[in-house]
Chains A and B, each alone.
Chain A
């Protein structure tokens, strides 16, 4: 095992960096898409609602792998060619964003009715009510489910290997293909994925939850 890591550690580390970058970029895409679609589904204007619902239905209702292939292999037929790195994090981000949209929508609806009414009674505009009063409280509610979703997202990035992005999974497959050290190659990948989630995502989300709770004066 030690020999294995000495030989392939460098390449695995490079793959891990690519995975981390895909994760970070896909998270950004997911957050923006989830917020836009979550708010869109609550809009008073039906075309906005329809657009948001269509997005959520398509990206939540079909397979991530198929979406990835569509964005990478089919969109070029319509004149939109994306580099594989971009196609990778875009697909994963949009897919997770569709789930996130439901979290955003649900937590906004979970903010107590009285908060809307108090903001309304202060004559705040709908946008200010949302931005100043409702969203700050909804964000606290959405953090735990987002923690879950981001772990899903990290694992989802493994699929980008299938369009040739040289991420951790891609490197592990290459090593396996040339050496047949399957247990070592995929075992190491497994552990790295787990550690990324356990050591980076979970503690970061916990910290965020605590600091949000403090802002509500609850800690």
Chain B
């Protein structure tokens, strides 16, 4: 599809929080995502699962604009994210447009990626002060409140090197939330954690789902957790959505053979 065929904006009665429209991603001849069409509604929690190499992490990274796309358009709240309007048509977005648009998206990473030269509190204040232009006092209030929420307020003056993986990940969640994003992305946030601290991170995400109307997209290997908190499960296989459904339906009555195989394999591994 030609870029000129894509709408400059989505119509007001059809504006999901996120829309992937015919999105393609490839590295050379390797197609990672093939013609992806996916809507995520306001306040929806969608879990992306699938075997490794199925392109699930790429979906998140494209939404964070950490990866460019080779075809299609991604819309955020009806407005193009990966593209911008020039003389009545969409063209690939420049750095300024990307920066403006991705301000409404927060991301947590598998390896936390806290800034090692800053304390937990400074990590949370960095974005609000440097990017949003909040005063130090405002940013501190906001950050301390969030650190309280994730149960890390008594460690606020510690550097990341003094924190356990679970604690670092909770600070990383607070750091992302301090930017007041409308969309939160969780990229295998428990995969690098010791089993005994996974619960403290999933508990925080559970509360986010329960108490906030954030739109969330999560890549995870924890089927039980995904089943508990998601509104919808998307199963990726070889760069395509093989099956998507509400969690109950998905886990108790998967329709596609690939899904059944995958769920059996995961169950055996447990």
Binding site for B on A (CB under 8 A): 112, 114-115, 117-126, 128, 132-133, 136-137, 140, 215-218
Contacts and interface: CB of A to CB of B under 8 A. Distances in A.
Contact of A122 (B116, B161, B179): B179
Interface residues of B, number: 31
B127 A123 contact: yes
Interface stretch (B4-12, B103-111, B195-203): B103-111
A115 B113 contact: yes
Given A121-B176, A122-B179, A123-B179, A132 B130 contact: yes
Contacts of A216: 116-117, 159, 161
Q: Decide if the interface of chain A is mainly helix, strand, loop or mixed.
A: helix
Contact of B160 (A121, A125, A217): A217
A124 B130 contact: yes
Given A128-B130, A132-B130, A121 B107 contact: yes
22 contacts: A114-B109, A115-B115, A117-B66, A117-B109, A119-B115, A120-B64, A121-B64, A122-B126, A122-B130, A122-B176, A123-B127, A123-B131, A123-B179, A132-B126, A133-B115, A133-B126, A136-B117, A137-B117, A216-B117, A216-B159, A217-B116, A217-B158
Contact of B113 (A117, A123, A215): A117
Given A124-B131, A215-B117, A216-B116, 4 more contacts: A114-B109, A121-B107, A122-B126, A217-B116
A121 B106 contact: yes
A217 B109 CA distance: 22
Contacts of B131: 122-125, 128
A11 B64 CA distance: 65
B80 to A, nearest CB: 17
A58 B250 CA distance: 65
Contact of B66 (A121, A123, A133): A121
B117 A123 contact: no
Nearest to A123: B103
A119 B131 CA distance: 10
